[in-house]
Structures are given as C-alpha cells and as structure tokens.
Structure 1
Amino acid sequence: MSFLKFSHAIILTLASTLPLISHAALDKNEREIVKQVDKNIPQALKEIEQAVNINSGSLNIEGVKKVGALTSEQLKAIGFKVEWLDGSAFNRAGHVLATFESKNPDAIKILMIGHLDTVFAKHDDFTTYKQLDADTASGPGVADMKGGNTIIITALKSLQALNLLENVSIKVILTGDEESSGRPLSLSKQAIVDAAMWADVALGFENGDNNIKTAMAARRGYTGWTLNVSAAAAHSSQIFSDNVGYGAIYEASRILNSFREQLATQPNLTFNPGLIVGGTNADYDSANSSATAFGKSNVIAQTVHIAGDLRALSPKQFENAKRSMQLIASNSLNGSKAELIFEDGYPPMALTDGNKKLLALYSDASHDLGFNKVVAANPRNAGAADISFAASHVNMALDGLGLMGSGAHTKNETADLTSLDKNIKKTALLIYRLGQL
C-alpha cells in the first residue's frame, strides 16, 4: 500500500502498532545504528565547528551560500541528489534541497527541515566557534541551528552506511532565510510547501524550547503588524481641547493599552510592540528595523509608528485577535486617526492526532535507547519556524529535534553537546522505524 498520504485509517493502524514498538529492546539493526552514530560523532563535532565559523546572517548572501555549499557536499557524499534553489526572486541567498529516492514504491516519504542562516550580521564581532568545556560550545548559530543541520546529516549518514534507507524516501530542505524571511512568503516558502505536499511526515530540527525532554508537536503562528497614527500638530497648551484633541502619542498609548487590557489573558496569544517612534516628524524604516524622529515638549505629536508581532496557536485565534485589534485601533480619540496593517506571516502548526502519534514514536525511540521519554513542549516556549509551512500538508509533523542549547539570537548562544549523540540516535532510530511500518 502506498504512503502517498496517510489516511485516517492508516493513522489508526499506526496507533495500534505503537505498543509493539514501545519499550521494546533494540533489534540488531538498531544496535548497529547506535554503534555507527558513535563512530560519526567526532566528525559531526568538526562539521558543526566548520559551519559556525562561516558567517551566514540572513542578509549575508555570500555567507549563506557558503554554508549551503558545505552542507551540499556533505549530503552528496552520502548519495543524495542536491540542488541549490536560488533566492534572488525573494531577495535572499536561496535554499538547499537534497533528495534520496527509495526504490521501494511503498517507501514512506519524510521531509527533514533545517536552515542555513543566523541572526548575526556580516560584520558582527560574534563570529567563531569556541569550546567552553567538554559539554558546551558557543558560537553564532551553534544551536540555532547549525547543530540541528548536523543532526540531520549525521543521522542520514549513519543509516546510509548500514544500508538502512531502503524503506524511506527523504527530502532535506535547508532554507537560507528562516531568521529573516524573504518576501513574498509565497515565493520564499514555496520549496517547503512543495516538499511537504510530496511527504507523509515532516521533521524539524530547530532547538525548540531547548529541553531534551520535550519536542514541538505544535507551534504558534506569527505575523508582523505596523500601527501608524496621525494627529494635528499644535502648541502643547491646546492639547485635550475640542479643536485639537489628544495628539498621536496619546492615541498610540490608548491603542497599546487597550490591546493589553482586552487580549493579554488569552491562552497562547501574545502581541509585542517591539519598536515605537513618534513626534512632530517620525520615520520608520521597516527594511532596516530602524527609526528617526523630531519633536519638542511644547508641540503636540503629529506622528507615531509602532512595529510589533502577533503570535497565536490556531487560525481562528489569529483572526479573532486581528479583528479585536482593528476594532480598538478604529475607535480613535478626538483629533487623531490610526491605521493598523498586518503582514503575511507564519501559519500555526496545530496539535493534531498525527503529530501526537509521531511524538509517541519519537519518545519510544528515546526510551528504548535508554534516554528520557519525550513529551509535547508548551508552544509558548518557542518561536515560529519553517515547519509551520509544511505541517498542514502532512499527516504527521514534529519539531524541536535539534541540538539543545541556550541564548539563541544573542551573543551568549551556547550548545549542549551532550544532546548531540542522543538526538542523532533518536532521529536515526525514528527514521528506521518509520520505514518498518
């Protein structure tokens, strides 16, 4: 029977097989997988260091391409067909797409997702890998997510060395714009969507909430928003008068506080104003996330710009929040006017039965290897990720399978190297077992 897409019947069949796998001793092939991963760990550590030492901030086109070339060679070496998908149409470097096609027509199809880019700019002074102690390393993107890319490649390398990929077909996509998505999203995320429509299962190798005892069975979606407020400029002595009104800054403050009062208690919903600029003249440069302003204390502010984000766990929660925020913004104070604009964003990754089944398989692999059970992470504890563009196209999705660490997106970013061999082994075992279903 083909695995073109799991039907609900197959999901139920899969559920019935779980007790046969749970707590079982490792079979001969699985014991060989463990040994092979152990052999590959020294090289995996070298490959993480090599990737981290290439600056690949999202806007550093040359650097992202260099990391892409490095991972492409690693994937080609284990028999994958590798393509570079140029990103000039969406103003980014591009993506790596690597494919392994099984000769078995019934092979399960698995999509594995990582990313090449980091948040660190080309001329940042946080540029190199550093071993802090036997179990910890620091460096730009060491956990988010060059370590995760290495987990993908090393797990596949270990299975390939044992000829254990015959029952799976694999696509690996390593995007070049996860940290700063190219626009429009319809172009920059198309490769993920296309691969997901091919796949049965999607696995994401972000570091999730950096807890090895959890994985992301659900993720909140993300969208950006901009609030533009205008008002009449006048002498400050006239503020609150019927002729002049309240000015742009009071109106912006009213809107933000109303967002907080009306929406902040909803579970899994957050909205953050990350930048605000206002005065007689105020200019917001969205491309560079910067702003300038001029104003005086005795002049009523004429202009305010605010940039923020909105995160929700379901499409319905997104739409309800947007509707409430628009209503708040439209109820303007005297003398002012507000415009609230939402961008295209990341869709939510819902907590589906399929995701729960995949989490159970991953947890059983961890337990059978002698590690901890794995439970679903709180979606509030991690940001948006590329897997959200795949999740609705497959019947099973799971993220947060990468290298654990702390301080992501800061110069304090570190990786917990004790999680490297564990998560490679868990990934390799999961892929092998999916191929046996």
Structure 2
Amino acid sequence: MMKFNLAEYLEELRPLINVDCGTYTLEGIECVASQFEQKFQAMTGWYVKRVDCAKAGVGLEIRNKPDTEQIDIMLVGHLDTVFAKGTAAQRPMSYDNEKAYGPGVADMKSGLLNIVYALRHLEPDLIDKCSICVCMNPDEEVGSADSVAWLQSVAKHAKHALVVEAARADGGLVKARKGRACYQLNFHGVAAHAGNEPQNGRSAITELAHWIVAINGMTNFDSGTTLNVGVVSGGTNSNTVAEYADAAVEVRFWSNEEYQQVDAALKRMQANPFIDGVSVALEREVYKPAMMPSERTESLMKLVETLAQELEIDIKWHSAGGGSDANHMAILGIPTIDGLGAIGGHFHSDKEYLLLESIEPRIRLLMRILQQLAA
C-alpha cells in the first residue's frame, strides 16, 4: 500500500528539474540518468543496463527479469527536454498550492518519477509473476533518431506498452498520435549571368519553386496529411542564375499508408527534376509513424477506463497532432497507451506546469494497470 506524501515527492522531483538536460546536453542527460539508475539500484530485484545512444548520450533499460526474452509490460519515458542551457538556473522548480513549475516538470520528469513510485509500491510477489521493462531514452524531443532502433528491439518482445507522458490539461489520455517526417532538400543547378547569358543557366530556385507548388498540392486536409515547406534559401545575388537552393519540409499524417504514397511521390520527383540540368538531393532526417489504436489497443483502453472508474478518475481519450515514442511502439502492432502521467500543460514553454492534485491519483492508476496486466 502506497502512503503518498506530496512534499516528499516534490523534493525528489526537484533535482530532476534543476538540471539542464535538453537533447544532446550530454552532461545533463547523464545527471538525470544517474539519478534514476540510483533509484532503481536502491530497489530490490531491479537490474539497470546503460545503453549507448550515440550522440544523444545514455539511455537506461531497467528490468526485473533481464534473462527473460518475453516482456509482459514495457514502460517508456524520455530523459531529455527541449530547453537550452541556462534555463534551469533562470527558472528552477517552484510550486504553489495548485501547480509545480519548471523546465520539463510535466514533459516528462514527473512521468519518469511516477514510474519509480508505482514500481516501488507494487507487491513484490506481483512483480515476480511478470516481466517488466522500463526504457528511458535521451532524444525523444528530436524524434528518437539515435534510440529508436534500441526501443523497437525491446518493444518487439513486449505484450503491452505504456508511455508515461503527461496527461492532457483536461486529464485526457492519448489513444492516437499523428506521424511526422522531415526532409531536407538540396537543389544543384548551373550558375550563369542573369543579363548576358541567362539561357545557359539552370536555376535551382526555379526547380525549388516547382517543388513547393507540387508539395502543397499533396496536402489532404480531409485525411489529415499535411505538407509544409517551412524553410527555404538559395542564390547569391539577383544578377546570377541560382546554382544552389535548399528547403526543409515537414509531413504530418494519420495514415501510414498515405504517408508512404507521399514519400514515394517525393522520390519520383527527385529522380525526375522539373528542369533539365538540375539535380536534387532528398534526405529524410526525421521519421515517426502514426499511432492508431488497433483492436487490441481498444481492449487495453477499456481496461484503463474500468480501472479509472474504480479510482473515481474521469478518463477522456485524445488524438494528438504531436508524436511521442508511443508511435514507435504502436507501429509494431503492440497495444499502446500514452499520456499515463500526471496532468500538465503549456509543454515546451516557460509556462509549463504540473497539476499537483493529479500526481497521486495518476500513480495509483498506473499501479492498478500494472497489477491487472501482471495478473
């Protein structure tokens, strides 16, 4: 039985907030990872493995049965935030009677701490009946490019995935998330004097313009597949036919199949430029598939609803435009629920908050879910 003390929880949360750990801030990621490593090492029966996530730093893989291939429950959260160095010193963790504030307080240091609290207070014999794995990665805020292979190598052995990102401001959990892909486009044409011999030039900017029109035409607001040319550059001066141009493009989508059609269309355009003599380089820098609930996920949702009712917690379900690591779990066909942390809001801003009254109920809900899935 958990005896929850809010003041003690907040003091344990404070050192997780008061450290700069934006993605690729390796010393901060190491600091937060070390804190969680120590918390699990202090608990009987848990084994911590450090995972090298290349330039993103260290990730943690924590198991109660490290030699068992099958995983009954996978818990997922991220160590990084979106905030720059110096932010923690400028606005360290604070709280009033209703909310706690600070960089990453809801997204998602409290979620990681909630995992610790839930596992600390589960009955030892219940934990012994099942295989649980906790993965904490260091680069979710930039798409998990350096950790996704590791996460999915673990997830493919899991029966259920629970992502403990913060609940929405109205307490809602997340059943679906849009997918996202980001491309960098580089156009290489032929420079020429724009006055004396423009016919000898091949404008990279003109090629880019054709691409912008074509990309905008792929947007389908009805299905939710949207493309945005967000950054462009090119040329050197107005009297030179542009030899180079660049663009950054983002795609958001609910349908993984529709995204594959977009990706194929971009590759066809790359192979067949609009202007002879211009070459195009197309690089996909970020990819996160859409998370859509399967029948098995819907069964898990019904279980969560039942357990929430027992705890007198009102549950709503949301479809979110932004992605998380839940997307990478769901694409493997694993029943996946997201938003199981405490309630928060204004993520990625200096107004980010965590609703204090929601912390204990959401820990208890997570515990009940773990108990039911373990049984």
TM bracket, shorter-chain basis: 0.7 to 0.9
1:238–1:244: 8 Å Cα contact kept in structure 2? no
Partner residue, 2:172 = 214
**Structure 2 counterparts to residues 17-36 of structure 1, below 5 A:** 32=1, 36=2
Letter aligned with residue 201 of structure 1: H
The 1-side partners of 2:28 and 2:246 are apart by 33
Shift of 1:67: 0.6
Partner residue, 1:308 = 249
Shift of 1:204: 0.4
Shift of 1:108: 7.6
Shift of 1:400: 1.6
Letter aligned with residue 148 of structure 1: G
2:50–2:60: 8 Å Cα contact kept in structure 1? yes
Shift of 1:155: 1.6
Partner residue, 1:435 = 374
Post-superposition Cα deviations, 1:32-72, rounded to whole Å, max 9, x if no partner, equal: 5xxx2x52433322222220112112212121111111111
Pairing partner for 1:179 from 125, 138, 141: 141
Secondary structure class of the residue paired with 2:83: coil
Post-superposition Cα deviations, 1:359-409, rounded to whole Å, max 9, x if no partner, equal: 11112222221121332x2242xx222233333446421112123323323
**Structure 2 counterparts to residues 218-229 of structure 1, below 5 A:** 218-229=176-187
Task: Indicate how the Cα distance of structure 1 residues 69 and 301 shifts in structure 2: closer, same or farther if over 3 A, else same.
Answer: same
Partner residue, 1:76 = 41
Partner residue, 1:267 = 223
Pairing partner for 1:340 from 279, 282, 293: 282
Letter aligned with residue 218 of structure 1: A
Partner residue, 1:285 = none
Partner residue, 2:61 = 97
Letter aligned with residue 270 of structure 1: T
**Structure 2 counterparts to residues 387-406 of structure 1, below 5 A:** 387-393=326-332, 395-406=334-345
Secondary structure class of the residue paired with 1:320: helix
Q: TM-score, normalised by structure 1?
A: 0.76
2:264 equivalent to 1:323: yes
The 1-side partners of 2:243 and 2:332 are apart by 47
Across the aligned residues of Structure 1 and Structure 2, the Cα RMSD in angstroms comes to 3.0
The 1-side partners of 2:51 and 2:119 are apart by 25
Partner residue, 1:11 = none
Shift of 1:344: 6.1
The 2-side partners of 1:276 and 1:207 are apart by 34
Secondary structure class of the residue paired with 1:54: coil
Letter aligned with residue 70 of structure 1: Q
Secondary structure class of the residue paired with 2:141: coil
Q: TM-score, normalised by structure 2?
A: 0.87
Give unpaired runs (5+ residues) of structure 2: none
Partner residue, 2:301 = 359
Post-superposition Cα deviations, 1:306-347, rounded to whole Å, max 9, x if no partner, equal: 123323334312210112333455451466443333246233
Letter aligned with residue 341 of structure 2: G
Task: Indicate how the Cα distance of structure 1 residues 114 and 226 shifts in structure 2: closer, same or farther if over 3 A, else same.
Answer: same
Letter aligned with residue 335 of structure 2: M
The 2-side partners of 1:182 and 1:217 are apart by 20
1:201–1:394: 8 Å Cα contact kept in structure 2? no
Pairing partner for 2:361 from 422, 427, 435: 422
Aligned-residue sequence identity (percent) comes to 25
Pairing partner for 2:132 from 170, 175, 179: 170
Letter aligned with residue 49 of structure 1: R
Give unpaired runs (5+ residues) of structure 1: 1-31, 281-295
Letter aligned with residue 345 of structure 2: S
The 1-side partners of 2:137 and 2:114 are apart by 16
Shift of 1:174: 0.8
The 1-side partners of 2:153 and 2:333 are apart by 11
1:221–1:388: 8 Å Cα contact kept in structure 2? yes
Letter aligned with residue 255 of structure 1: W
Q: How many residues align?
A: 373
Name whichever of 391-400 and 351-360 sits farther off: 391-400
Letter aligned with residue 264 of structure 2: R
Task: Indicate how the Cα distance of structure 1 residues 125 and 46 shifts in structure 2: closer, same or farther if over 3 A, else same.
Answer: closer
1:224–1:344: 8 Å Cα contact kept in structure 2? yes
2:106–2:344: 8 Å Cα contact kept in structure 1? yes
1:276–1:304: 8 Å Cα contact kept in structure 2? yes
The 2-side partners of 1:134 and 1:393 are apart by 42
1:332–1:338: 8 Å Cα contact kept in structure 2? no
Task: Indicate how the Cα distance of structure 1 residues 264 and 255 shifts in structure 2: closer, same or farther if over 3 A, else same.
Answer: farther
The 1-side partners of 2:48 and 2:90 are apart by 27
Pairing partner for 2:106 from 106, 118, 143: 143
Secondary structure class of the residue paired with 2:4: helix
Task: Indicate how the Cα distance of structure 1 residues 40 and 317 shifts in structure 2: closer, same or farther if over 3 A, else same.
Answer: farther
**Consecutive aligned runs of 4 or more in structure 1 exceeding 6 Å deviation:** none
Pairing partner for 2:4 from 19, 39, 46: 39
The 2-side partners of 1:340 and 1:191 are apart by 26
Post-superposition Cα deviations, 1:276-305, rounded to whole Å, max 9, x if no partner, equal: 22222xxxxxxxxxxxxxxx2333332111
Shift of 1:243: 4.5
The 2-side partners of 1:262 and 1:394 are apart by 28
Secondary structure class of the residue paired with 2:288: coil
The 1-side partners of 2:329 and 2:192 are apart by 52
The 2-side partners of 1:428 and 1:244 are apart by 67
1:65–1:94: 8 Å Cα contact kept in structure 2? yes
The 2-side partners of 1:76 and 1:394 are apart by 32
Pairing partner for 1:231 from 146, 167, 189: 189
